[in-house]
Amino acid sequence: MSLRPTVDFLLHDWLGVESLRERERFADHSRETFDAVLDTCERIAREKYAPFNRLVDTQEPHFDGEKVILPQATHDAQKAYAESGMLSAAQDYEIGGMQLPYTVEAAANAFFAMASVSIGSGMLTTGNANLLMAHGTDTQKRVFALNEFGGRWSGTMCLSEPQAGSSLSDVATRALPDGDDFMDDPLGPRFRLKGNKMWISAGEHELTENIIHLVLAKIPGPDGKLPPGVKGISLFIVPKKLVNTEAELTGERNDVALAGLNHKCGWRGTTNTLLNFGEGKFPVRGAAGAVGYLVGNPGEGLRCMFHMMNEARIGVGMAATMLGMAGYHASLAYAKDRPQGRPVGPEGKDPSRPQSRIIEHADVKRMLLAQKSYCEGALALELYCARLVDEQHTGAADAANEARLLLEVLTPIAKSWPSEWCLEANSLGHSASTAAMATRATFRSSSTGATTA
């Protein structure tokens, strides 16, 4: 069974994505170009992601004291993804993009999430670069964002700290001006950062030449104290390896050190890290402190970061959706194949009849239909939100504003609803596939007088 007919139905019959071609930005596109993108992503997901989903779960990332080691399959998958052009799919032609509607981009990314959400594609890198395109200076866009879109460098988002998870107003990472000429750096006002960032996805690896961290930190006031609340938070670009304005590595390692890899129950193909910024493990120009370049104005860091977090929320919702969808497809295949038991007719069960496939039992059918409804409904919600993003960016003023308001309501739901209900779908899938075993266990228990089922 293939996901493609569902995606095609949602994109074309329901969302009418081809009507976007009437807009100047998408005028060069056609059903054929949209299909070609989906075909390519479906093929890469099938060849480079799906066969290694189990492997990346069993070969967890590990640190050899110098480098983080990931399976070769992860390197190959991410290289294929970057070479497909998907990291910059929605960007302008002038910077190497395809000017693809976000709706089609999101649909194409669904194939990777279904094949192996664990390997991941480029959600954080694209989100990081998109944020810089919205809030960075021209030099920051050229040096950092363009090299992320090209797949040469990857990106992270560094918000959380050991004491600041949900409560970002408690961020304690400090950023101090770096020297008297700190305002004159062509990469942006230059600061030195000190602090710890916890739970940072893709915070350390060797998949790309450099890692561009976007870090929330506070600039102390004249009294040396950090400003309270979220309004005191600023945003900084902190590259793992320092670069010049021509985007060449200078050969200096920035003072960002891996304190440890977090062990995860799932999604183990992507590292999750505790990073120490500015502890002095890699002093820069003789001093401790990670070099960071201010993005936007001081105190506006969280507002800028939300640009990335909203995309990340739709991406996380899509990932949860496709985890459920993968479970539904596996359950369906199993239920069509597994013979067990017999239907109850007017005369009861006829043991002389051949066994039926479990999909024919009403309760299994009920669970499969619930899985299908949750997962296909969630995919519809994600793609509807993606269509609203296109409306917000390219629609007429009134429609764009309405889409923006609707997204404010729907984006948190697009993240949280599939995270809850597609997990429930997988629980149902588990119930359906273990029903036969459970039935046998019940029989054994009751025959010995035990009451467990």
Ligand X SMILES: Cc1cc2nc3c(=O)[nH]c(=O)nc-3n(C[C@H](O)[C@H](O)[C@H](O)COP(=O)(O)OP(=O)(O)OC[C@H]3O[C@@H](n4cnc5c(N)ncnc54)[C@H](O)[C@@H]3O)c2cc1C
Interface contacts to ligand X, rule CB under 6 A: 156-160, 165-166, 199-201, 267, 272
- In angstroms, rounded to a whole number, what is the distance separating the alpha carbons of residues 370 and 328? 10
Nearer Cβ to ligand X (167/446): 167
Nearer Cβ to ligand X (156/234): 156
Nearer Cβ to ligand X (127/289): 127
Pairing of strands 68-69, 62-63: antiparallel
Q: How far is the CB of 217 from ligand X (least distance, A)?
A: 12
Handedness of CA 435, 437, 440, 442 (dihedral sign): negative
Q: Which helix (H) or strand (E) holds 76?
A: helix 72-83
Give the burial class of 348: count Cβ atoms within 10 A of its Cβ; 0-12 exposed, 13-18 middle, 19 or more buried: exposed
Pairing of strands 249-253, 241-243: antiparallel
Output the CA torsion 300→305→307→310 (10° steps).
-130
Q: How far is the CB of 272 from ligand X (least distance, A)?
A: 5
- In angstroms, rounded to a whole number, what is the distance separating the alpha carbons of residues 197 and 369? 42
How many residues make up the chain in this entry? 453
Q: How far is the CB of 178 from ligand X (least distance, A)?
A: 23
Closest CB to ligand X belongs to which residue? Answer: 165
Nearer Cβ to ligand X (105/161): 161
Query: What is the chain's Cα-based Rg?
Result: 25
Nearer Cβ to ligand X (267/282): 267
- In angstroms, rounded to a whole number, what is the distance separating the alpha carbons of residues 211 and 205? 8
* Three-class secondary structure of residue 281 per DSSP: coil
Nearer Cβ to ligand X (63/199): 199
Q: How far is the CB of 424 from ligand X (least distance, A)?
A: 18
Q: How far is the CB of 266 from ligand X (least distance, A)?
A: 8
Nearer Cβ to ligand X (156/392): 156
Q: Which helix (H) or strand (E) holds 198?
A: strand 190-201
Q: How far is the CB of 168 from ligand X (least distance, A)?
A: 8
SS3 annotation, 358-382: HHHCHHHHHHHHHHHHHHHHHHHHH
Nearest one of 181, 305, 303, 171 to 237, comparing CA atoms? 305
Nearer Cβ to ligand X (26/153): 153
Distances (CA, A) of 189 to 175, 234, 288: 11, 12, 18
Nearer Cβ to ligand X (284/308): 308
